[in-house]
């Protein structure tokens, strides 16, 4: 019988942390945009859009990787409700990491605002109209989904810390490359 997998693959770990760092960058970029005016503010928004679309692409890649490489089994000692909460949180992460950039993309498309992907090329706009009114509705959804993402992040981090410091079940070691594996 094969030994149970105790750590995610290097690709899973890389995608997890790359997306996490990009989400953090998004918070910093939009905070910088809101604190400045003029050309710098507009440049921060352009970078925010490019990073957001990169998150979308990486999230789709991560979902594809996850479908080909299923998640590691949760510890048997976990309570049923904890397993449901863990799986639901992960699914909702994927939903949020798709909905947030897509609604931002839709808002830019509805208002006819170009999206430059790091100055390398113009990201194609979606065939939606509606102008500023539609863009505003898409941005309302975008901002609501961001708030939901913050709740998911809090649950995810608190859950990881609980597993590491309270349960001591090795769950955190599965995704953090520099924490040694438990025997």
Instruction: Give tens-digit pLDDT for 102-151.
Output: 999 999 999 999 999 999 999 999 999 899 999 999 999 999 999 999 99
pLDDT value at 61 more than 70: yes
Residue 182 lies in a domain: no
Residue 179 lies in a domain: no
Give pTM, 2 decimals. Answer: 0.92
The rounded distance, in Å, linking the Cα atoms of 63 and 175 is 16
Contact (Cβ atoms closer than 8 angstroms) between residue 159 and residue 78: no
Residue 38 lies in a domain: yes
The CATH number linked to 75 is 1.20.950
Q: Which domain holds residue 65?
A: 10-174
């Amino acid at each position: 019988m094969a030994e149970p997998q105790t750590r995610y693959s290097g690709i899973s770990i890389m995608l997890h942390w790359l997306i996490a760092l990009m989400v953090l960058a998004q918070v910093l970029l939009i905070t910088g945009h809101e604190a400045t005016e003029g050309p710098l503010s507009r440049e921060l928004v352009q970078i925010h859009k490019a990073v957001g679309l990169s998150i979308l692409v990486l999230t789709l890649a991560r979902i594809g990787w996850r479908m080909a490489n299923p998640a590691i089994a949760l510890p048997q000692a976990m309570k049923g409700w904890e397993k449901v909460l863990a799986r639901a949180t992960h699914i909702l992460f994927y939903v949020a990491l798709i909905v947030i950039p897509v609604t931002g993309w839709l808002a830019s498309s509805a208002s006819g605002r170009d999206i430059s992907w790091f100055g390398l090329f113009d990201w194609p706009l979606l065939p939606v109209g509606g102008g500023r009114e539609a863009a505003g509705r898409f941005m309302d959804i975008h901002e609501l989904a961001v708030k939901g993402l913050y709740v998911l992040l809090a649950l995810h981090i608190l859950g990881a810390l609980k597993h590491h410091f309270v349960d001591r079940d090795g769950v955190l070691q599965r995704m953090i490359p520099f924490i040694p594996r438990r025997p």
